Structure 1
Amino acid sequence: WWAYYELGWGGWWFWDPVENASFMPWLAGAALLHSQAVTEKRGSFGGWTLLLAIATFSLSLLGTFLVRSGVLTSVHAFAADPGRGLFVLIFLGIVVGGSLVLYALRAPDTESNAKPFAPGSRETLLLLNNLLLTTACAMVLLGTLYPLLADTLDLGKISVGPPYFAMMFILLMAPLVALVPLGPLTRWQREQMATPLRLLLPWAVLALVAAVIAFFLAPQGQWKTAAGILGAVWVGAGTLRFVWTRLRSAGGRLTREMWGMVLAHLGIAVFLVGALLVEGLNLQRELAVKAGDTVTLGDYAFRFDGIVEREGPNYVSDRGTVQVLRDGRITHTLHPEKRRYRAGGQVMTESGIARGVFADAYVAIGESLGNDAWALRVHIKPFVRWIWAGALLMALGAVVTAFDRRFRSVRKDLQ
């Protein structure tokens, strides 16, 4: 969200090393939540749960080291302080080393209550969930740290960019998305996979039909658009099928923990729409304009009305005025800026955004090109807000789960 609003690039994820540093503990933590559910309900995966807890906290410390030590050059990094970085690195070594030693000594005891489970059971699906999430986390870790290690060991300058991350991440996440609706409809310990597949067959057909329609209707990025619709309908409809099945069962009701799971899985569906459709359908133009020039992009027109210099509290700003028109009617007036801060002379871009549920019109100004001409970048960002809506739904699911009655009883016992 910060990169989208503040940097003027119009993107929301760049596989920047500091972005990756925050993403890795999220992946390990997601695996931890699912593994802990198996440990609590069935007594299995005790070793997995402990190891994932260690990994999640350790990756959080690693992220702190990468962001604050100065070993990375990034717009997201906070400071270059080798002394602080050395302290965090030593602390990280103590935490990781000590935790792994304790794990090695005690891990065999954690599986003493483990119960056997069939290949088609929910335990198996959650095991696959753990494997996919941890492998994705390891892939991001390798791509983030390998260039640093190669540089430190004088193996040459190596750059690992979005093509590596995007290809590998899609290969690992596609099966995970396919498994999301199956888990809640599958029973613990013993299950025939034909049962949940039969329940979800109509929704699988619906998802395929919706994806084919989206493929042929999309003006560009057909494969990304179709994949986004396919994944979103499959996950969303499958999750709602679980709610329907649960409510129709004898004495059926959903606990707060179940509602939290439903919200989190629906958040995945919403996120898939936002992430893949904005990547597939995004429109962009970058050109030189003078006051009075109009740029047409898709169904929108952008009229550039010039630049005015303004004094801010601690900066000087070149503030532009851009009228956004649709069907010949002005819908928004945007004021993108280029700010020069007096302390240090840092230059920052403030984008102008016309917000919409189904699309954003996005404008950023660049440098002066002389003769009263300015560089202007305009975007149409379909469904970009669905990315953050999906993240908020996932977070809301966590909040709802935290208020489940059994967690309150645990707190009372501890008191």
Structure 2
Amino acid sequence: MVRGAVLIALAALFGALAWSGHVLALPVAFAFPALWASARSRIVAAFVSAAYFLAASRGLPQGVANFYGSDLGPGLLLWFAASLSFVAVHTALWTKRPGWGRAMRFGLAAALMAVPPFGIVGWAHPLTAAGVLFPGWGWWGLAAAAASLIAMTTKAWPAAAIALASFWLWSAASWATPSVPDGFRGVDLGMGQSLGRDNSLERQRDLIATVMRTAGQGGEIVVLPESALGFWTPSVERLWRESLSGSGVSLIAGAAVINPQGYDNVLVEISADDASILYRERMPVPVSMWQPWRGWLGQDGGARAHLFANPVVEFAGRRIAPLICYEQLVVWPVLQSMLYGPEGIVAVGNGWWTTGTSIVAIQNASTIAWARLFGRPLVTAFNR
């Protein structure tokens, strides 16, 4: 009884520490498989899994309350609902028999939580820490991290923990943030929930002035956050192209494209000569944006998920991996993009609803870790 309570408490503690928004804290998540394997019953394993996930995603109730302007009730319900996949997978695959059989079961659980359908809510995945432990190792670093996670469920976990701590200390001592792609400059905004909802000419002109100021500070390619332009229409396109005429500046910015079934959350590219949709989001935020049950019920609305489409895009003669908001919290979008050898990562978000939480910091930490793992330059743009 006491042992189980201690394991549960440690799982919550390590989940909170690992996902505090500090990139160098991510490797604390590697303690989770050892705690899971130390459970002496399936019910304790379930509570250990729940404690880790709920602590890691603790900002969700407040974020939901901010988004919907409600009390914490709906957020708490969604928080627990989101944990069900993680808890169910790790509970179903737990076994009381020690050894490599249990280790392989954890490996299977980790794999399932990294890809759809379970990976759609595969937050707080320990593999995200691979870039902190093995920066620049690429796919070999991912493999080393996966092997280390599995080893943490065996009797060899003390040796594995010592080895991981050594890599961690070495990495922390020489840590450097990813470089920014040449010519790119990201713009962080503080426009709150009005961004993307205020489609007035005045707002567009304010954004144009911001882009021109940013370009004047260096950087011929400016990146604005998710939803920055609001609805993408011919009038908005014409205004921006005319405003960029003669400047030599190109823009990547978030927008929404309305279609008969709902809308696409996109990135658009704009220059004086041309404008087009650059990227359609693969995984919008479930429930608040992506609502697949509407289609099942014959209803329209919600953001479309383009799941495995456009993992990389061509822009200014370069191959880049775009990640919009929620895609930075789960594993498979960035790994799918890396299969295509992008030259850089462009990560944007609109986090006004995360006020009072560490969600945006966790997104940034995750993206930085992936960029460091694969040695790719990174440019970010967020609204708060």
Q: Larger radius of gyration, structure 1 or 2?
A: 1
TM-score bracket for the superposition, by shorter chain length: under 0.3
Larger helix fraction of residues = 1
TM-score, scaled to structure 1: 0.26
Between Structure 1 and Structure 2, which shows a larger proportion of strand residues? Answer: 1
Q: Normalising by the residue count of structure 2, what TM-score does the alignment of the two structures yield?
A: 0.27
